[in-house]
């Protein structure tokens, strides 16, 4: 860049820097612009047409899946990615197993309330977005749950012999997804969503499709170990949520780079943990989508014990 170019771009450069400063000052306050999310209209209905895109260049799958936990105790909310995503032991998973193996129905109910939730991440191309037409023709990341995943799986492995399997992530032989949302009992319901017949994405040329492919976002970050806390950190947070320890105040003047800091806690005895958890477990808000088959999941954990 020449000095003249620097002078010419001074105004726009300041706007860009201002946005970056705002992100640093309030990292959780702004939405990630890479993500697309449907919205409901005034009638509490939602509609859009999207296309799931192939795996990004250099990656093996067109989706990433992440297990997480979200539940409330007397010490606050526990909202963390689960180490089971990485095929590692997770403190909440171990607590769930102990609760499930107790044979007490109330313990099993507690385990159900703070079960794992499975989320998927994929690249999509927005074909139609009535509420935000400016999104049409753009590539975004899309986070979705088991309900939508089941519809993808049904297309790839149809139940009836007169139905042809479809790879919905394919540019040429995939299918548009008509996302239809209705509010049912106060929650979003996706049951009416469906795939169209197979077609080339938007009748675009191979050159145009290649351009889209090169703009896709990497999905590897969602399962990168850097996005997961260690077992010890998760155990410490779980102790706090269960009311077993108190957070240490952080001196912001001397520890400006730390958002939270906690006193180290000894490893808990799980029998004691279960007894405390029965007494302190609070009601958890209902999830929008069903995520895991609880009975089969905890039954498998019981068999491993």
pLDDT at 274 over 70: no
Rounded mean pLDDT, 1-26: 60
pLDDT at 157 over 80: yes
Tally the domains of the chain: 1
Q: Hey, what are 162's tokens?
A: 């007169």
Range with the poorest average pLDDT among 33-37, 75-79, 82-86, 287-291: 287-291
pLDDT at 19 over 70: no
Task: Residue 132: give the domain boundaries.
Answer: 32-305
The rounded percent of the chain whose pLDDT value lies above 70 is 70
- Count of C-beta atoms within a 10 Å radius of residue 142: 23
**Residue 6 domain-assigned (yes or no):** no
pLDDT at 273 over 90: no
Predicted local confidence at residue 247, as pLDDT:
43
**Residue 18 domain-assigned (yes or no):** no
**Residue 26 domain-assigned (yes or no):** no
**Residue 15 domain-assigned (yes or no):** no
**Residue 20 domain-assigned (yes or no):** no
Compute the distance between CA of residue 53 and CA of residue 62 in angstroms, rounded to an integer: 7
pLDDT at 271 over 60: no
**Residue 233 domain-assigned (yes or no):** yes
CB 53 within 8 A of CB 143: no
Residue 140, domain CATH: 3.90.198.10
pLDDT at 121 over 90: yes
Query: Buried b / exposed e across 221-237, counting CB within 10 Å, b at 16+?
Result: ebeeeeebeeeeebbbb
pLDDT at 11 over 70: no
Closest to 273 in 3D by CA, of 96, 68, 67: 96
**Residue 161 domain-assigned (yes or no):** yes
Question: What is the average pLDDT score of the chain?
Answer: 81
Closest to 78 in 3D by CA, of 50, 135, 132, 117: 117
DSSP string for 1-36: --HHHHHHTHHHHHHHHHHHHHHHHSTTTS--TTB-
Q: Hey, what are 222's tokens?
A: 């969602």
198: helix, strand or coil: strand
**Residue 180 domain-assigned (yes or no):** yes
Helix axes 91-101, 270-280, angle to 10 degrees: 80
pLDDT digits (tens, 9 = 90+) for 182-197: 988 888 999 999 999 9
Backbone angles phi, psi at 216, to 5 degrees: -65, 150
Cβ neighbourhood burial of 277 (10 Å; 0-12, 13-18, 19+):
buried
Compute the distance between CA of residue 170 and CA of residue 219 in angstroms, rounded to an integer: 17
- Count of C-beta atoms within a 10 Å radius of residue 158: 13
* Distances, alpha carbon 6 to alpha carbons 2, 16, 96, 194, 301, in Å: 6, 14, 58, 50, 61
pLDDT at 160 over 70: yes
48: helix, strand or coil: strand
Q: Hey, what are 233's tokens?
A: 């950190």
pLDDT digits (tens, 9 = 90+) for 209-267: 999 999 999 999 999 999 999 999 999 999 999 888 544 433 333 344 433 333 444 44
């Amino acid at each position: 860049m020449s000095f003249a170019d620097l002078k010419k771009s001074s105004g726009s450069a300041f706007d860009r820097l201002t946005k970056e400063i705002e992100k640093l000052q309030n990292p959780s306050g702004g939405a990630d612009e890479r993500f697309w999310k449907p919205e409901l209209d005034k009638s509490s209905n939602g509609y859009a047409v999207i296309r799931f895109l192939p795996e990004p260049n250099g990656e093996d799958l067109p989706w990433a899946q992440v297990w997480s936990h979200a539940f409330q105790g007397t010490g606050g909310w526990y909202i963390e990615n689960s180490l089971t995503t990485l095929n590692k032991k997770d403190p909440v998973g171990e607590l769930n197993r102990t609760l499930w193996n107790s044979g007490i129905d109330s313990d099993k109910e507690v385990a159900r309330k703070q079960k794992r939730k499975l989320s998927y991440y994929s690249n999509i191309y927005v074909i139609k977005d009535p509420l935000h037409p400016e999104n049409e023709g753009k590539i975004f990341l899309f986070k979705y749950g088991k309900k939508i995943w089941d519809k993808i799986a049904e297309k790839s492995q149809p139940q009836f012999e007169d139905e042809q399997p479809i790879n919905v992530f394919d540019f040429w032989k995939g299918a548009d997804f008509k996302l239809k949302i209705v509010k049912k009992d106060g929650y979003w319901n996706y049951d009416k969503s469906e795939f169209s017949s197979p077609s080339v994405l938007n009748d675009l040329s191979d050159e145009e499709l290649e351009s889209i492919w090169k703009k896709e976002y990497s999905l590897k970050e969602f399962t990168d170990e850097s996005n997961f806390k260690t077992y010890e950190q998760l155990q410490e947070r779980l102790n706090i949520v269960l009311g077993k320890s108190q957070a240490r105040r952080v001196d912001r003047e001397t520890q400006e780079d730390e958002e939270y800091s906690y006193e180290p806690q000894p490893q808990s005895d799980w029998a004691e943990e279960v007894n405390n958890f029965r007494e302190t477990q609070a009601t958890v808000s209902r999830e929008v989508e069903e995520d895991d088959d609880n009975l089969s999941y905890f039954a498998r954990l019981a068999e491993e014990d």
